[in-house]
Amino acid sequence: DERSSRFLGMIEAASEQMTELLDDLGTAARIQGGRWDPALREASTLELAQTDDERITVEGEGGTVQTDVETVTRALRSFAIAALRHGPAERVTWLVHGRELELSPVSSAAAPVVTGEQKRDLGSLVARAVIEGLGGSVHLAGESLLVTI
């Protein structure tokens, strides 16, 4: 029946969120413990920013990088979700220029959370650790988050 289907959908969504949370915790623990061994392979930065979340748009021209595809894709999604969750934005856009990706808008309220300065969002904290752990950088420029992979 319809009610059961709705509950099953909610259970499935919660299960996916729990899996993502456990993945983030595991990644954070490995990075902090110096045991993270990223599985590097070639990928397009444009493809790394792609997501099925309709609130996140990806534009621009990607470049090819050697990176941990799954972890970086999750990191970029986490930055975007944090910008949506902690700012008044209904949509955000990744503008990709080779190895540099620009997320906007990142409101002044969302900025310290997205960058990890305020420890209120596990996803963005782990995302920053991942990007920097792979030799990249994360910083603000006005109402944009600049990520270099």
**96, 140, 135: which is closest to 117 by C-alpha?**
140
Integer-rounded Cα Rg, in Å, for the chain is 16
Q: Which tokens is 49 given?
A: 């920013």
Average pLDDT, the chain: 93
Indicate the pLDDT class of residue 29, thresholds 50, 70 and 90: confident
For the stretch 53-85, pLDDT in tens is 999 999 999 999 999 999 999 999 999 999 999
For the stretch 77-110, pLDDT in tens is 999 999 999 988 999 999 999 999 999 999 999 9
φ, ψ for residue 64, nearest 5 deg: -95, 130
Predicted pLDDT of residue 80: 97
Q: Are 106 and 145 a contacting pair, CB within 8 Å?
A: yes
pLDDT: which is higher, 41 or 23:
41
The verdict on pTM exceeding 0.85 is yes
Work out the angle between the directed axes of helices 69-86 and 2-32 (0-180°, nearest 10).
Answer: 110
The residue written with tokens 């409101």 in the block is 107
d(CA 8, CA 5): 5
